[in-house]
């Protein structure tokens, strides 16, 4: 099946945004956990 360029661009942007937010979640998640662990050891 052939998608028109506008639909393909929209899909590509949507996938890119999802990957971006997943990367943010993976990068942003360890920091609070590490700070909590440090507080427990102090």
pTM > 0.75: no
Residue 42 has pLDDT above 60, yes or no: no
Q: How many Cα atoms are found within 13 Å in the side-chain-facing hemisphere of 30?
A: 3
pLDDT class of 3 with cuts at 50, 70, 90? confident
Task: State the pLDDT at residue 19.
Answer: 93
Domain boundaries, the chain: 1-30
Question: Tokens 């993976």 identify what position?
Answer: 26
Residue 37 has pLDDT above 70, yes or no: no
Spatial distance between the Cα atoms of 30 and 26, rounded to a whole number of angstroms:
7
Q: Which two tokens stand for residue 38?
A: 């440090």
Task: State the pLDDT at residue 39.
Answer: 66
Q: How many Cα atoms are found within 13 Å in the side-chain-facing hemisphere of 36?
A: 5
Q: Which residue has the higher pLDDT, 34 or 27?
A: 27
């Amino acid at each position: 099946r052939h998608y028109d360029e506008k639909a393909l661009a929209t899909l590509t942007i949507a996938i890119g945004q999802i990957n971006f937010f997943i990367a943010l979640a993976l990068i942003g998640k360890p920091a609070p956990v590490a700070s909590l662990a440090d507080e427990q050891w102090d």
